[in-house]
Structure 1
């Protein structure tokens, strides 16, 4: 299975005097940037992780404060959608003041330089779009290039459904229905440790009837089964991919939403064909092999080339 092209940039991999320049070159097709002046002169730090979906790019970034500027570039016909999970920005678009905070979604027309905002966080529509973007991101590491047509279709359909004025067109209705399902799935993933997670809470959160919720989850064997499988998958990742230190198995089970260790161990073995202890040992061996195979130095990021190829 061919994986989706994936790239990471961590400025700390580079020499101190290279960090900002490497970052600036990587994002140059989108913005010109320079360091913001801060009391104390904090040195630049930034992390950028991206997937090349062919028709679209999706990335997650965090960085110390920067000033961004973009000249009008009428040859561009791309849209940039930004979900701010933390932080935000303030500035001007022409004479219009623009301010974006945590949970807001910004849409930038790269040809016109026109910024608009989707409904602010907390509204059902914003919840669906924000959760859909997060859900797509979380699935990409395990997806293949064969999945890209469906991923791009639902991704673009969700954005169009959230930003369009008036009713959603019939040809966009199905992608937006997929986006609603993805939003609920993402909410489940982020609240697996909540003992009250179930149909009643999901219906209240997303304004769904039980009938519609159950219909959305028919392909996954029902809501309860999906929640149980996600809790087991999270437990497997915790046990196999992380060094748990002094944490005990029962703590992992409780954090993943299970109320007893014996019940957790029985379900874990049924799903994965191994005990939690065997998963931990398998993970330790895999981490050791990866550390021995690491390269000698940082490579230059591919993000800039991917942007230019769109």
Structure 2
């Protein structure tokens, strides 16, 4: 995998053992994971097994997924001295478990937990059949943000910790959006990702990490808003109460996207637009759709729609009926603008 140039899509690497024999699959996985660990399988299925690993380069970070059968992972002092890797590996276990081989049953991850490996230190761990999401971070980038940078090896941070939940949701969003991002866009994400990771590992947000936590919190609020757009009681008061923050804090989070009320209106208008473009809803009146999304005043609705998309709702629907996709797609920049604006 080479480094991406400005404006290019992110480099991506993927390994999949589908269709391989058990011996071939085991060798392919061992070669892939052997960059960091020595591995030993508990027991390979005789009929073969499906394992995969892949990741995107995000500047100096790597984000990827892994899936494999139960095995041991080892990193000896000799191995550390030989390869010189000092990165942190942050693993979100979506399925299966992992923990130190000398630990008890309570010292293993559960689905949703975060497992931390400090590649500068030895380890001997065991994992069941698993699926995980991984972030590899150079030590020199993350350690300055950590309160005790040398005390995280083989740590398990439970997923019910709010800061961990924010971080893991951020990772999932980052991985989901990686195929569409360029290296230029990734540059805006590195520091917030590091700050949110550090807050999750430290168990608290401080002056160095608060900005990243705010971004994670912004994502959570946006997810809640998008899931409840049609609820009549969706308001700043309701959302602030739901997330245990003041309205002042809520308004602060949404300043860079024009404010909370503006964001909710844009999301509702976006939903209206998508319905207007859908032939399955061609029998519905425009105001019926608008009222369903909380727009009860016709002139105000039409004016807001035109400001956002440069067309009236009727013109948008007419273009869709004529399949004039070049014109109607001109409003697709709104989602990307909202997502990226908070990182400036």
Query: 1: CA distance between counterparts of 2:239 and 2:193?
Result: 22
Query: 2: CA distance between counterparts of 1:25 and 1:278?
Result: 54
Name the residue aligned to 1:68: 72
Residues 184-223 of structure 1 mapped to structure 2, 5 A cutoff: 184-186=221-223, 188=225, 191=227, 195=231, 199-200=236-237, 202-223=239-260
Name the residue aligned to 1:117: 156
Deviating more after overlay: 130-139 vs 28-37:
28-37
- Cα 1:131–1:96 shift into 2, 3 Å: same
Name the residue aligned to 1:306: none
Structure number with the bigger relative contact order (C-alpha 8 A, sep ≥ 6) is 1
Name the residue aligned to 1:7: 13
Q: 1:28 aligns with which of 14, 31, 34?
A: 34
- Deviation for aligned residue 1:37: 3.4
Structure 1 residues not aligned, in runs of 5+ = 251-256, 283-310
Work out whether 1:55 is the aligned partner of 2:60. Answer: yes
Work out whether residues 124 and 206 of structure 1, in 8 Å CA contact, stay in contact via their aligned partners in 2: no
SS in 2 for 1:150: coil
Residues 1-310 of structure 1 mapped to structure 2, 5 A cutoff: 1-12=7-18, 15-16=20-21, 18-37=24-43, 43-61=48-66, 63-72=67-76, 73-74=79-80, 75-84=84-93, 86-95=94-103, 98-112=107-121, 113=123, 114-118=153-157, 120-164=158-202, 168=206, 170-186=207-223, 188=225, 191=227, 195=231, 199-200=236-237, 202-227=239-264, 229=266, 248=280, 271=309
Q: TM-score, normalised by structure 1?
A: 0.65
Work out whether residues 239 and 280 of structure 1, in 8 Å CA contact, stay in contact via their aligned partners in 2: no
Query: 2: CA distance between counterparts of 1:239 and 1:60?
Result: 37
Aligned-residue Cα RMSD (Å) equals 4.3
- Deviation for aligned residue 1:83: 1.6
Query: 2: CA distance between counterparts of 1:60 and 1:281?
Result: 39
Work out whether residues 42 and 71 of structure 2, in 8 Å CA contact, stay in contact via their aligned partners in 1: yes
Query: 2: CA distance between counterparts of 1:239 and 1:232?
Result: 10
Query: 1: CA distance between counterparts of 2:96 and 2:276?
Result: 35
- Cα 1:66–1:225 shift into 2, 3 Å: farther
Query: 1: CA distance between counterparts of 2:96 and 2:171?
Result: 17
Q: TM-score, normalised by structure 2?
A: 0.60
Work out whether residues 59 and 183 of structure 2, in 8 Å CA contact, stay in contact via their aligned partners in 1: no
Query: 1: CA distance between counterparts of 2:322 and 2:30?
Result: 42
Cα displacement string for residues 25-46 of structure 1 (whole angstroms, at most 9, x for unaligned residues): 22222333455538x8563113
Cα displacement string for residues 266-299 of structure 1 (whole angstroms, at most 9, x for unaligned residues): 99996497659679997xxxxxxxxxxxxxxxxx
- Deviation for aligned residue 1:236: 9.0
The structure that has the greater radius of gyration is 2
